[in-house]
Homo-oligomer: A and B are copies of this chain.
């Protein structure tokens, strides 16, 4: 690519940015768009704003950018949760890294590259100059100027590691304080126990009860044995379908009731017949569901949710192998009740096994797919080729990393639909690319910086207005960001070793080798120092939090709820309003047992 082409591209992109910025500024002020740009506020206020027309509404104004900066981190934390704040930290971290990289790259590396003579271009025709003359390729072979690149690699690695340490330390401390400030939640007190050993004399429920009463007498609270409910689930699905059809028929014509009441058998006769027919079928289905629900005694699965009266009690049973046979009494942290993927428990062993196998195969395939383009992309220094490769990589990475960071107790089958979760891989990949290219082509850095700034502004503004957290990992995905950054640093080192070799400066090549070793040692330290807090909470936190709860008057109520928290929805009493009068009432009445 030549310089003039790059500048044209920059111009077009900046123009588009300005256009979208203006459009956004105007559109977000229209009352009708409020539900799109600030659904949280709409929900809060429970009424649409007065639709007074004013000229101000049609003028773009950057006030929202200032607004975006107003809420402090603590406010954000309490409103949108830790995950959103950690995601914001990915932005600020990247911005910091790109600022440092940009300063070093533009003020030091770029002039040195440009002053090289390796690629003998015509100096007079600057606009048509290839971008290669700004890259390291233009530095003369064996030139002592390469030692400045060498120093830059060391300085940049040091600075990035310092930022990484700072962020890891900050986020892990936030994670602990977030735990302290969290309300008691059922999944903190509950374990999913698999591999309950069968007994000819007693049911799984009795076996679980006696085991935990025996070995955890002071902490065991209650349990819910999981039952095979696939048949009920099917029946319920059918009933719901039927009920929806009935409701549709009803809403299509609200007057039919009148006719039926009068005994009039006219044009609506067929419809009334249909309604009666569906109503009877629905009632029959409901009876079937109730019958199935009452005959579940023999359909217990060798798995149960076991609740404890303290978080620490649950942690003890989680971290220590329970039975002599390690394939029995396998414990894992329970997911939140609403995240449980119930049909999974009812499916056959074969189906689950195939699902797991499919996940493994997909992971391997995606890793290979990920490696091939990365290797190829690393060999490219031309921006135009990069642009061709980007969309494909983005898709693959989206799939691959989102599976890694959103894994869930339902055995990775359910991926929560949170907007920023799918953004993480994209952001990470840009960091990866930015760091790697710091060395090769510093010209790319200012563009990345601008792109990140814009992304950050829009993310901050939307955050409070749009996002309502449904699923909270407590910033558990930060280690992925950390590892990706370390990986891209290592990649940079490998490239540096290769380039110094090609540029006939073997001494620099060998002197770079300590850098990846030091980076790995730093990573190892971080892994020891911070990672454990992202995996499980320590005794100190758990016991402190449990003691706080002891003084809390609402805990008795919480325990009552906890006992029935893990109830399969298929086992709850169903009541579709069967009478013809109530057909437009709420679809499904479900009450706790």
Write the chain B residue with the least CB distance to A529. Answer: B327
In the bound complex, residues from chain B placing their C-beta under 8 Å from that of A531 are: 326
Pick the residue among B324, B327, B532 that contacts A176 (CB under 8 A).
B324
- A540 & B319 in contact (Cβ 8 Å cutoff): no
Pick the residue among B321, B529, B538 that contacts A322 (CB under 8 A).
B538
Interface residues as binary, A515-537 with B (CB distance below 8 Å gives 1, 0 otherwise): 00000000000001111110010
- A539 & B326 in contact (Cβ 8 Å cutoff): no
- B215 & A321 in contact (Cβ 8 Å cutoff): no
A358 at the interface (CB under 8 A from B): no
A371 at the interface (CB under 8 A from B): no
Q: Looking at the assembled complex, report how far the CB atom of A283 sits from the nearest CB atom of chain B, in whole angstroms.
A: 49
A207 at the interface (CB under 8 A from B): no
- B529 & A324 in contact (Cβ 8 Å cutoff): no
A418 at the interface (CB under 8 A from B): no
- B326 & A533 in contact (Cβ 8 Å cutoff): yes
How many chain A residues have a CB neighbour from B under 8 Å?
A: 27
- A215 & B539 in contact (Cβ 8 Å cutoff): yes
In the bound complex, residues from chain B placing their C-beta under 8 Å from that of A326 are: 528-533, 538
CA distance A532 to B531 in the complex (A): 23
CA distance A321 to B315 in the complex (A): 10
A468 at the interface (CB under 8 A from B): no
- B324 & A315 in contact (Cβ 8 Å cutoff): no
Q: Looking at the assembled complex, report how far the CB atom of A432 sits from the nearest CB atom of chain B, in whole angstroms.
A: 27
Closest 8 CB pairs of A and B: A321-B538, A326-B532, A319-B319, A322-B539, A319-B320, A320-B539, A215-B543, A321-B532
Q: What would 13 A/B residue contacts be, using CB atoms closer than 8 Å?
A: A176-B324, A214-B543, A315-B320, A320-B539, A321-B532, A321-B539, A322-B538, A323-B540, A324-B533, A326-B528, A326-B530, A326-B531, A326-B538
Known: A215-B540, A316-B316. 16 other contacts (CB 8 A): A176-B324, A315-B320, A316-B320, A319-B319, A320-B536, A320-B538, A321-B536, A321-B538, A322-B539, A324-B538, A324-B540, A326-B529, A326-B532, A326-B533, A326-B538, A327-B529
